[in-house]
């Protein structure tokens, strides 16, 4: 079995939705949706929140105590132009986990990540078949090129939508890899990549105000009614 580390990076600055990580989504701070799921799963040996925000740290400590550890990310890894890999590698160099440990990146902006999808990801990780794993959602839309050429069918043979398999895109919910891969590659995905296909109705990535409105609808009409 792998030693599993969950990592959730957040920043206090947000251009799309102001203060979104501490903003209440159906009565609960946004960042707590994914943290609640991770804590309740009992799948992880360590759960970390990386933040540069005092309010975020206070909320996390007050709600979870020592179940969620705090990593204070540097100013240089918390700018609008900082990539997520900057704070990931900064954390790993500080924490110094074993190369064989399994590092799991979760996004607070994907609040409806399910226990089932996390379990499947970790089962794939423990199988030894994959170097890294990504969550994807299947879209059944016909694509076109910018030069007005259909990419998924010919005019003479357009499939029915129910017969069309569609295509996979990253959902943004989670990414994971061995620490060895994270440190040796420029991106968290490398080597033999596994895919966890997640429910398109829950795979929201909150970046703009309209995304927040959609998340509120999903939370109120789907999640809280389960």
Q: What is the mean pLDDT of residues 179-200?
A: 95
Token pair listed for 107? 């996004």
Any domain includes 83? yes
Which pLDDT belongs to residue 226? 54
Which pLDDT belongs to residue 218? 93
Phi, psi of 20 (to 5 degrees): -65, -35
Any domain includes 27? yes
Number of domains the chain is built from: 1
Predicted confidence (pLDDT) at residue 166 exceeds the cutoff of 90:
no
Give the model's confidence band at 224: pLDDT under 50 very low, under 70 low, under 90 confident, else very high: low
**CATH number for the domain that contains residue 216:** 3.90.550.10
Any domain includes 162? no
Any domain includes 188? yes
Range of the domain at 38: 4-140+170-225
Residue 188 or residue 151, greater confidence: 188
Any domain includes 163? no
| In contact, 211 and 205? CB cutoff 8 Å | yes
| Helix-, strand-, coil-residue percentages of the chain, each rounded to 5 | 35, 25, 40
Any domain includes 161? no
Which pLDDT belongs to residue 160? 80
Predicted confidence (pLDDT) at residue 15 exceeds the cutoff of 80:
no
Any domain includes 155? no
Which pLDDT belongs to residue 103? 98
Number of other residues whose CB lies within 10 A of the CB of residue 176 = 30
Give the model's confidence band at 1: pLDDT under 50 very low, under 70 low, under 90 confident, else very high: confident
Which pLDDT belongs to residue 91? 97
Per-residue pLDDT reduced to its tens digit, 91-145: 999 999 999 999 999 999 999 999 999 999 999 999 999 999 999 999 888 888 8
Nearest-angstrom CA–CA distance, 205 and 185: 25
Per-residue pLDDT reduced to its tens digit, 48-105: 999 999 999 999 999 999 999 999 999 888 888 889 999 999 999 999 999 999 999 9
Give the model's confidence band at 176: pLDDT under 50 very low, under 70 low, under 90 confident, else very high: very high
Mean pLDDT (the chain) is 92
Determine which helix (DSSP H) or strand (DSSP E) holds 153, and give its type and residue range: none
Predicted confidence (pLDDT) at residue 219 exceeds the cutoff of 70:
yes
Any domain includes 179? yes
């Amino acid at each position: 079995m792998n030693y599993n580390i969950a990592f959730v990076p957040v920043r206090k600055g947000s251009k799309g939705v102001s203060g979104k990580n501490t903003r209440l989504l159906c009565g609960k701070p946004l960042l707590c949706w994914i943290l609640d799921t991770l804590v309740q799963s009992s799948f992880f040996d360590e759960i970390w929140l990386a933040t540069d925000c005092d309010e975020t740290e206070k909320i996390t400590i007050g709600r979870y105590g020592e179940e969620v550890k705090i990593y204070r990310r540097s100013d240089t890894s918390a700018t609008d132009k900082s990539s997520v890999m900057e704070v990931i590698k900064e954390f790993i160099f500080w924490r110094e986990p074993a190369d064989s440990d399994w590092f799991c990146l979760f996004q607070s902006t994907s609040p409806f990540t399910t226990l089932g999808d996390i379990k499947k990801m970790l089962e794939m990780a423990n199988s030894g078949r994959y170097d890294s794993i990504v969550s994807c959602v299947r879209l059944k839309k016909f694509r076109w090129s910018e030069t007005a050429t259909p990419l998924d069918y010919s005019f003479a043979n357009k499939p029915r939508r129910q017969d069309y398999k569609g295509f996979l895109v990253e959902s943004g919910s989670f990414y994971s890899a061995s620490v060895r891969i994270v440190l040796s590659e420029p991106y968290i995905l490398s080597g033999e990549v596994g895919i966890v296909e997640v429910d398109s109705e829950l795979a929201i990535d909150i970046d703009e105000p309209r995304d927040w409105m959609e998340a509120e609808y999903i939370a109120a009409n789907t999640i809280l009614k389960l």
